[in-house]
Amino acid sequence: MSLTKQKFDGLYVSHLLNCECYILTSVGIFIQDILIRGEHELQVYTFKVDHVPVNLAQFGVTDPTLAHGVNGWFRYALKKGFVTHLEDMFPQSSISSDFVRDSRREELLSNVAELQTQVAALDATFSTDSERVLAIQGLQNQITSNDDDIAAEILARDVAIDVEKQRALLAEGVIVSYVNDEDQATTADIVLVRQEQVDGDSAIRGSVSGTHDTLGKLEIAINNEGGTRLTADQAATTDRQTVRDEFAAEDSAIKLRLVACEEKSSYIDPVSQNQVTVQITAAKDEL
């Protein structure tokens, strides 16, 4: 199993290649829990039972019951976001720790060698040289045939993988085209909205007359009105102070008149005294 994720401008696209039979990676061919490699000679590995992949230890995974087998652990790692490719789960450096090498081929070769030794011993006793040569050639032909069958199977699987990759690329092309169309439509909508905003601002600001638009003129008028009102307030303050000064001067004059009247009252006759009293009362009423 291999899961490939790609992101196009916020849109996630997933392709799940459900290869229960096999999948080709840079480290070899995975067939469920079996790994086949071809470095100088064909090597077969089997995933360890009740084993946590070494590469997951860095994420603190230690419980072997969380998943089982290559597919199970890969699904678990994908779900947790630890890896995105099978090569990330089983890199070259961890193959010997996560898998047990199958020694059956070596055992077969050893058995063949032992059989060849036995045949040689028997031939030395009971057979002719031509029979020994035919027997050995038969064994070699069988080994060669087995290698050819394995190579043909690997080639057929490579072809199938290439076909699946082409299909996935075509599907991705359709998605990319759709995403591009949507992106262009979104861009056009954004341009339209921005133009509408510019038009709205222009309508609010009004046409330009001279060096100022409508808003500029309003601002100037407001500033001028503020200056006019300030001047009027200052003039009103001056007028009020003038009135206060006039009241104060008049008040002082009246007080002087009262003092003069009181001084005269000390040496005039009773009749004149009454007149003075009337004048004082009148002066007080004026105050």
Q: What is the pLDDT of residues 117-137, one digit of tens each?
A: 887 777 666 656 666 677 788
- Range in 117-121, 261-265, 268-272, 281-285 the model is least confident about: 268-272
pLDDT of 85 reads: 86
Average pLDDT over residues 53-78: 90
Calculate the CA 50 to chain-centre distance: 37
pLDDT band per the 50, 70, 90 thresholds, residue 101: confident
pLDDT of 53 reads: 93
d(CA 94, CA 67): 18
Q: Does residue 67 carry a pLDDT above 50?
A: yes
Average pLDDT over residues 43-56: 89
Q: Does residue 205 carry a pLDDT above 70?
A: no
Average pLDDT over residues 245-258: 80
d(CA 54, CA 92): 11
Tens of pLDDT along 174-184? 888 888 888 88
Cα atoms found within 13 Å of the Cα of residue 120, Cβ hemisphere only = 9
Q: Does residue 17 carry a pLDDT above 50?
A: no
